[in-house]
């Protein structure tokens, strides 16, 4: 790769699955937001279009990637009694889920769906994880994924699809193929996404990063965690293992 490009590696993460389970088919390839918008470009847009603006189009939108929901799912829930919460699927197909933590705000609980994603870059770069603000997925009528940000060249842990629900009682619906979230890579370089197969060694490193709150302390900032990650050459180990398991 030239210095004008940046390789970013991604894969499904199966930390929640049993050893014999492989849910790879639930993870379609992400594509850039720019390419999605260009499919619906207005023929009369002209040079004044934001798609042509250097502060919006071009590299910015090209480095935002759309991750989509694999199957139709519907759930009903009732958290009006915090001592007896209910969350249950009511559709024939659905993604497994759990409530990992108490609710953060009063208006509704947060539910973690069992879709996890690994992302790692060949150099330090910030990644933002956001709701799909340039689309109108029906699931956002019921809630939105909680956002996050980290350096994916200096830390290796999965992205969780955790949704903040708008109410304490109601339904949640996901349509097949609707956008779930965006990943934005904060770089002026052209991002090249490459898929890899997650291995047991990569899973072990990921688990250790997740557990860092316990062995380092909850108040330790990410920058200090990054420092330990790099000084131990864990970044080199992750990159080496990923490159051995690229999906061509």
How many domains does the chain fold into?
1
**pLDDT at residue 102, as a whole number:** 82
**pLDDT at residue 138, as a whole number:** 93
**pLDDT at residue 3, as a whole number:** 78
**pLDDT at residue 101, as a whole number:** 83
**pLDDT at residue 45, as a whole number:** 64
Q: Is the pLDDT of residue 1 over 70?
A: no
Residue 21 is part of which domain span? 5-244
What's the CA dihedral at 67, 71, 72, 75 to 10 degrees? -90
Band (95; pLDDT cuts 50, 70, 90): very high
Which of 24, 62, 23, 89 minimizes the C-alpha distance to 182? Answer: 62
Lowest mean pLDDT among 11-25, 126-140, 195-209: 11-25
Q: Is the pLDDT of residue 14 over 90?
A: no
Give the chain's mean pLDDT: 91
**pLDDT at residue 21, as a whole number:** 74
Neighbours of 181 (CB within 10 A): 26
Sheet of strand 31-32, all strands in order from the earlier edge strand to the far edge: 31-32, 64-68, 179-185, 126-130, 148-151
CB 154 within 8 A of CB 226: yes
Neighbours of 190 (CB within 10 A): 15
**pLDDT at residue 47, as a whole number:** 61
Instruction: Please indicate whether residue 102 or residue 29 has the higher confidence score (pLDDT).
Output: 29
**pLDDT at residue 191, as a whole number:** 95
**pLDDT at residue 103, as a whole number:** 83
Neighbours of 2 (CB within 10 A): 6
């Amino acid at each position: 790769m030239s210095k004008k490009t940046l390789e970013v590696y991604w894969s499904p993460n199966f930390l929640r699955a049993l050893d014999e389970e492989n849910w790879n088919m639930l993870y379609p390839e992400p594509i850039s937001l720019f390419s999605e918008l260009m499919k619906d470009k207005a023929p009369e847009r002209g040079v004044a279009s934001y798609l042509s603006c250097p502060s919006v189009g071009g590299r910015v939108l090209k480095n935002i990637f759309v991750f989509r929901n694999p199957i139709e799912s519907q759930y009903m829930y009732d958290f009006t009694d915090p001592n007896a919460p209910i969350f249950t699927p009511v559709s024939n197909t659905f993604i497994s889920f759990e409530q990992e933590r108490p609710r953060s705000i009063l208006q509704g609980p947060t539910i973690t769906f069992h879709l996890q994603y690994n992302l790692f870059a060949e150099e330090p770069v910030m990644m933002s994880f956001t709701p799909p603000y340039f689309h109108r997925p029906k699931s956002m009528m019921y809630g939105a994924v909680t956002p996050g940000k980290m350096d994916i060249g200096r830390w290796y842990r999965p992205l969780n699809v955790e949704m903040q629900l708008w109410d304490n009682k109601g339904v949640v619906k996901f349509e097949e193929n609707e956008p779930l979230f965006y990943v934005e890579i904060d770089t002026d370089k052209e991002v090249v996404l490459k898929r890899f197969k997650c291995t047991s060694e990569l899973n072990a490193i990921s688990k250790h990063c997740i557990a860092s709150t316990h062995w380092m302390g909850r108040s330790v900032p990410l920058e200090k965690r990054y420092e330990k990650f790099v000084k131990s050459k864990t970044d080199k180990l992750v990159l080496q293992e990923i490159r051995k398991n690229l999906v061509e």
